[in-house]
Amino acid sequence: MTVTDLSHAPEALAHAPDGSVTFDGVGLAELAARHGTPTWAISASQLRLNYSTLHTALSARLSRPVIAYSMKANNNRAVVQTMAGLGAALDCSSEFELALAASAGVPAGKVIINGNGKSRAYLTAAIRMGVWQINVDSIAEVDRIRSIARSLGVTVPCAVRLKLSYARLLLSDPSYERTLRIAEGKFGSSTQSGDAEAVVRAIVAAEELEFVGLTHHAGFPGYRADFTAERQLMHQARCAEEIVEFAHLLRRRMGVVTPRLNLGGGLRSGRSVYLSTPGNGGDGEFRTLPTPDEYAEAIAAGLAGADWDPIVQFETGGFHVGNAVLLLAGVQDVKDVTRPRERRYVTLDCAMTMFTGRGLNRVGFPLLVVGHGPDAAPHPLPVELVGPTCAYDSIAEDISLPPVREGDLVALLNQGAYCEVLSTQFNGFPRPAVVHLDDGDVRLVRRRETLADIWARESAALDLWPG
Ligand SMILES: Cc1ncc(COP(=O)(O)O)c(C=O)c1O
């Protein structure tokens, strides 16, 4: 499969034999004519489909699943509101996300608070608002939450974020140790060292706090060289088993029941993720992802030993938005070179600054050229698709593309998760506009940045200019 193979394209995308392309019922050529390029387009239908597919899979196997949308993946108000409207709770990771959530109208009672080493300002805002749950990272945080709760005269629902031993996981597959090195680190309190138990005890003993659950997040491991869907499922199932074991231990040792188990996020939407290392050339590879049904099955198996009926929370981010957003870009230059070898450079008006994850995570993006049908004959030269910034800025290397010209449109798919939120203004490029599409309807939900936005924080007087 190549980068232009769209057999795994999102359901909201339609690519006709005549080359016309629609996303959520909106023609991409018309969209570019009306809103310009580059533009991020969010499909509300795809967001709804992704949510309902996961919710259905979980509800078929768990009695009380709750999906909290992890807004770090994409914090457009339009996305947050769509997810809240579907019934999702929300996972926030800073006081700034919390403010965005409030501005989107999400009730505090549906918000889960995450983060390591949370600031006093963050905790105070969350407690004052009356959030659903704070995922407590450490014993020091217990003390901070207590003092804030005392001064406000409230009781705070606290879950404890666990750093697992992964003993069961490593027994199943010792080679997983390399993958875990990334997942471990600064988050949570260790079940092995006794820290996690001490945090639970401190919460249970504090009259200002209510112990509501245990939480653990296993990040998406799909960018690793040894990723397979089976390994991810095994990872999730073994973690769930270990959390259940820890909850049983808490009950035996302290008589404490764990009403909520939070299993974090770590899923991606669509049937595959496209990986390619910038600079290595070649077309990269598609890796098959676990389906929501397979995921729910693995989680249910992992929780099967639980002798009580907890609320099971999920903090999925990338799964919901990943394939629900595309970046529509324009071709601004085509350059054919013969040395050091023959190739065609196609420069787009979007850049890696809009998806820095490509450099960080080997993630690549399936793409198509608007105006050329799926079976269009490729131009004979291998193409390097690049952005115009001074960074390496490669979007795809050594690919086959139809013969494109200046002004053609290219749609980069799967741009919803960790793209816009990680984007920068390198070289002074303003960030694209964002439009919300819904069954043929188009709304501008974030305007394109202007030069004035880029200068907006400048306070140096103009008389610093030596002339
Ligand atoms: C605690 C926590 N929950 C949820 C998520 C969302 O993960 P994903 O977007 O992979 O579902 C993250 C991502 O970093 C996280 O750290």
Q: How far is the CA of 71 from the centre of ligand 1 (A)?
A: 9
Nearest protein Cα to ligand 1, atom 1: 217
Best mutation site among 93, 217, 418 for ligand 1, i.e. most ligand atoms within 8 A of its Cβ? 217
Q: How does DSSP assign 274-340, residue by residue?
A: EE--TTS-S--EEEEPPPHHHHHHHHHHHHTT-SS--EEEE---HHHHGGGEEEEEEEEEEEEE-SS
The Å distance, Cα 387 to ligand 1 centre, comes to 29
Which residues 6+ apart lie within 8 Å of 80 measured at CB?
69, 71, 90, 100, 101, 104, 106
- From the CA of 219, how far away is ligand 1's center (Å)? 6
- C-beta of residue 333 within 8 angstroms of C-beta of residue 347: yes
Question: What ligand 1 atom has the least distance to the C-alpha of 215?
Answer: 1
Using CB distances shorter than 6 Å, the residues near ligand 1 are 70, 73, 91, 114, 217, 219-220, 264-267, 315-319
- Extract the tokens encoding 44: 């509300």
Domain with CATH 3.20.20.10 in the chain: 44-321
From ligand 1's centre to the CA of 455, what distance in Å?
A: 32
A 10 A CB-CB count for 101 gives 26
Q: Ligand 1: which residue has its CA nearest to atom 16?
A: 217
Atom of ligand 1 nearest to the CA of 319: 11
Closest C-alpha to ligand 1, atom 15: 217
- CA dist., res. 26 & res. 342, Å (int): 37
Q: What pLDDT score was predicted for residue 282?
A: 65
CB atoms within 10 A of CB 465: 7
What is the pairing mode between strands 409-412 and 325-337? Answer: antiparallel
Task: Give the separation between CA 36 and CA 329, rounded to whole angstroms.
Answer: 9
- Spell out the CATH class of 13-43+323-455: mainly beta
So what's the pLDDT on residue 1?
55
* Topology of domain 44-321, CATH: TIM Barrel (3.20.20)
Distances, alpha carbon 88 to alpha carbons 41, 81, 83, 112, 371, in Å: 22, 10, 6, 11, 37
Alpha helices in 86-138 (DSSP H): 95-103, 120-129
- Measured in Å, residue 414 CA sits from the centre of ligand 1 at 17
Nearest to 415 by CA among 77, 40, 31: 40
Ligand 1 center to 409 CA (angstroms): 32
Q: Whose CA is nearest to atom 13 of ligand 1?
A: 219
Residue 38 Cα to ligand 1 middle (Å): 27
CA of 69 to the centre of ligand 1 (A): 9
| Stretch(es) of the chain classified as CATH 2.40.37.10 | 13-43+323-455
Mutate to test the pocket of ligand 1, among 315, 319, 360 (most ligand atoms within 8 A of CB): 315
Q: Whose CA is nearest to atom 14 of ligand 1?
A: 219
* pLDDT tens for the 467 residues of the chain, in order: 578 878 889 999 999 999 999 999 999 999 999 999 999 999 999 999 999 999 999 999 999 999 999 999 999 999 999 999 999 999 999 999 999 999 999 999 999 999 999 999 999 999 999 999 999 999 999 999 999 999 999 999 999 999 998 888 788 788 777 777 656 678 999 999 999 999 999 999 999 999 999 999 998 988 777 889 999 999 999 999 999 999 999 999 999 999 999 999 999 999 998 888 777 666 678 899 999 999 999 999 999 999 999 999 999 999 999 999 999 999 999 999 999 999 999 999 999 899 877 666 777 889 999 999 989 999 999 999 999 999 888 898 889 999 999 999 999 999 999 999 999 999 999 999 999 999 999 999 999 999 999 889 988 776 776 66
